[in-house]
Amino acid sequence: MLGGLVTHAGEALGNEQMVDDRDEPVAHLPVGSITVMAALVARSNPPDWVRAFAAGAVRIPAVDAVGLEARAAALTGRSIKKASKIAALRLAIECMDLTTLEGTDTPGKVRAMCAKAVQPDPRDASIPSVAAVCVYPELVAIAKHSLQGSGVKVASVAGAFPSGLGPLPTRLDEIRRAIDAGADEIDIVLNRSAFLAGDLARAFDDIAASKLACGAAHLKVILEAGELGTYDNVRRASMLAMAAGGDFIKTSTGKIGVNATPPFALLMSEAIRDHFEQTGVKVGLKLAGGIRTAKQSWQYLVIVNETLGPDWLTPHLFRLGASSLLNDVLMQLRMQATGLYQRPDDFTVD
Partner 1 sequence: MSIDVRKTYKLYVNGAFPRSESGRTYPVNNSRGRLVANAVLGSRKDLRDAVIAARAAQNGWAKRSAYNRAQILYRVAEVMQGRREQFITELRHGVSAAAAEREVDATIDRWVWYAGWADKFAQITGASNPVDGPYFNFTVPEPVGVVGVVCPDDAPLLAFVSRVAPCIVSGNTCVVLASERWPLASVTLGEALATSDVPGGVVNILTGRRAEIVPWMAGHADIDTIDLTGCAGDRALVVTAEQAAAASVSRVVHATPREAQWANESSQSPYTIGSFVEYKTVWHPKGP
Binding site for partner 1 (CB under 8 A): 339-344, 346
Instruction: Exactly one of 187, 199, 205, 247 is catalytic; name it.
Output: 187
Closest CA to 333 of 131, 132, 121, 130: 121
Q: Minimum distance from CB of 345 to partner 1 (Å)?
A: 8
64 vs 124, beta carbon nearer partner 1: 124
Q: Minimum distance from CB of 330 to partner 1 (Å)?
A: 13
Closest CA to 312 of 262, 270, 253, 279: 270
Query: By the 8 A CB rule, do 138 and 102 touch?
Result: no
Strand locations in 236-283 (E): 248-250
Instruction: Exactly one of 205, 211, 286, 328 is catalytic; name it.
Output: 286
Closest CA to 147 of 82, 97, 92, 95: 97
**Within 10 Å of residue 201's Cβ, how many Cβ atoms?**
27
What are the backbone dihedrals phi and psi of residue 298, each rounded to the nearest 5 degrees, phi first? -80, -25
Four-residue CA torsion sign, 6, 7, 9, 10 = positive
148 vs 338, beta carbon nearer partner 1: 338
Q: Catalytic residue at 187? A: yes
CA distance 290 to 53: 32
Say if residue 92 is exposed, middle or buried (CB neighbours under 10 Å; 0-12, 13-18, 19+): buried
Q: Minimum distance from CB of 350 to partner 1 (Å)?
A: 18
15 vs 348, beta carbon nearer partner 1: 348
Residue 73 neighbours by CB under 8 Å, 6+ apart: 262
Q: Minimum distance from CB of 331 to partner 1 (Å)?
A: 9
Q: Minimum distance from CB of 344 to partner 1 (Å)?
A: 8
Instruction: Exactly one of 85, 144, 153, 250 is catalytic; name it.
Output: 250
Q: Minimum distance from CB of 332 to partner 1 (Å)?
A: 11
28 vs 295, beta carbon nearer partner 1: 295
216 vs 340, beta carbon nearer partner 1: 340
For the stretch 245-284, what's the b/e string if a residue is b when 16 or more beta carbons lie within 10 angstroms of its beta carbon? bbbbbbbbbbeeeebbbbbbbbbbbbbbbbbbeebeebbb
Closest CA to 224 of 132, 162, 151: 162
Q: Report helix, strand or coil for 166.
A: coil
212 vs 333, beta carbon nearer partner 1: 333
Beta strand 248-250 with 153-157: parallel, antiparallel or unpaired? Answer: unpaired
Q: Minimum distance from CB of 227 to partner 1 (Å)?
A: 30
Query: By the 8 A CB rule, do 212 and 2 touch?
Result: no
Say if residue 325 is exposed, middle or buried (CB neighbours under 10 Å; 0-12, 13-18, 19+): buried
17 vs 338, beta carbon nearer partner 1: 338
**Residues designated as active site:** 187, 250, 286
